[in-house]
Structure 1
Amino acid sequence: MTIKGILFDKDGTLVDFNRTWHAIGDQLALEAAGGDRDKADNLMDLAGYDFSTRRFRPDSVFAAGTNADIVALWYPDIAPRLRKGLVERFDSFTANEGALRAVPLEGVLDALAALHGKGYRMAVATNDSTAGASQTLLMLGISHMFVAAYGYDAVARPKPAPDTVQAFCDLTGLKPREVAMVGDNRHDLEMARAAGAGLAVAVLSGTGTRERLEPMADAVLNSVVDLPAYLAG
């Protein structure tokens, strides 16, 4: 097997999920709750924030879903004609704030530079918006290493559907078996399997746990820092 391209999830894989997203989620929850602190906390819990551990739960709506999923969860009774505008507002807000607040995981930027230097074609596959992914790469100073950034709104069906892998292959000319998908949640690995990707690599740097990820992964690494050595081996 020869891996020539790598798709990376963003939050929890390249970016520290909790340090980047808790304050953003809390601000949106307070808005949805009309400023009611208790109600906002309930919304955060509903979306997957565990107040006992102060971390987001694996595969929760906040950890793995899209802004459209969060809007549907927090605003279940909103009129369809207003839903689209609210999702667009979430996309805009999270794109700007997510990029400004993005905290890269330790050692990941150096690992990406090493992989880029080896000639791997790299892209981001996230259930954040495409604008959010692109702006984060720019803010981190690594956009030149990536050939594309795919958000949930860049394809007909976001993760765990195979569409993003297929779009990456269409862009690069690679075959799915030449692509590794790297992520911290089950939907990343489910997408890899659905697309016939060559490798499904789980990392433990985000919200996912070894117990949930290992059954679906070809490899479980502590973080992207371990990826260059793994691929070289």
Structure 2
Amino acid sequence: MAEIKGILFDKDGTLVDFNATWLGVADFMAMDASEGDRWKADRLLAAAGYDFATKRFKPDSIFASGTNMDVVELWFPRLSDEDQMLAVARFNEITSVQGSAMAVALPGIVETLGVLHRKSYRLGVATNDSTTGAEKTLLTLGVAQLFDAAYGYDAVANPKPAPDTILAFSDLTGLRPAAIAMVGDNRHDLE
């Protein structure tokens, strides 16, 4: 740990309880996408990785690790490029407003972030949510002032698992990439 000077956190599943936060948001998105048809919405949720038996999203599923663009491509495979961008914008709005409003912090995370900040670690967020969604969630949790930056999938050319967020954080902080730890809950965070 002596060489680690910065820590990038995935947001969902690492700072916030993924299922407690996102089940309601995902359901809202699916109902919106299916124009209120419960049966269709449930099919969309299942396709995105929701397991109705366990009432949880499967690890590494599209909804657990993908971007809003990934969800749009899955749910609306035949949209024109223009309609696809409109759907992504709609989902970005839903996830940033609903996701931040419904954010449930993992137990002890707020205190832990305070300790890390006092120990002079440079803190950042690298998420496949939107940047606005990440920033609003940090405000909701009351920890935004502890972070140097939040990088959503829309803040970099290539979202996780590409190294773009680590390189952007390195450029911002002046830290070498090898001095930055990535903390996450999915395989793509490790990658």
Same fold (TM over 0.5): yes
> Which residue pairs with 1:37 in the alignment?
38
> Which residue pairs with 2:6 in the alignment?
5
> Which residue pairs with 1:22 in the alignment?
23
Aligned length: 190
Tell me by how many angstroms 1:34 deviates.
2.2
1:27-74, Cα deviation, whole Å (9 max, x unpaired): 111121222211111110100100100011010000000000001111
Do 2:96 and 2:130's aligned partners in 1 also have CA atoms closer than 8 Å? yes
Q: 3-state SS of the aligned residue for 2:123?
A: strand
> Which residue pairs with 2:128 in the alignment?
127
1:83-131, Cα deviation, whole Å (9 max, x unpaired): 1111011111110111110000011111111111100000000000000
Whether 2:96 is the aligned partner of 1:95: answer yes
Letter in 1 for 2:139: L
> Which residue pairs with 1:146 in the alignment?
147
> Which residue pairs with 1:115 in the alignment?
116
Do 2:50 and 2:58's aligned partners in 1 also have CA atoms closer than 8 Å? yes
Whether 2:58 is the aligned partner of 1:57: answer yes
1:147-200, Cα deviation, whole Å (9 max, x unpaired): 00000000000000011000000000000110100000000010xxxxxxxxxx
Letter in 1 for 2:167: Q
**2: CA distance between counterparts of 1:59 and 1:13?**
14
Structure with the larger RCO, 1 or 2 (CA within 8 Å, 6+ apart): 2
> Which residue pairs with 1:81 in the alignment?
82
Mapping of 1:163-182 within 5 angstroms?
A: 163-182=164-183
Unaligned ranges ≥5, structure 2: none
**2: CA distance between counterparts of 1:82 and 1:76?**
11
> Which residue pairs with 2:71 in the alignment?
70
RMSD: 0.8
Q: 3-state SS of the aligned residue for 2:105?
A: coil
Do 2:117 and 2:123's aligned partners in 1 also have CA atoms closer than 8 Å? yes
**TM-score, L = length of structure 2:** 0.98
Letter in 1 for 2:98: E
**2: CA distance between counterparts of 1:96 and 1:40?**
20
Runs of 4+ in structure 1 displaced over 3 angstroms? none
**TM-score, L = length of structure 1:** 0.80
**2: CA distance between counterparts of 1:147 and 1:31?**
34
**2: CA distance between counterparts of 1:66 and 1:106?**
25
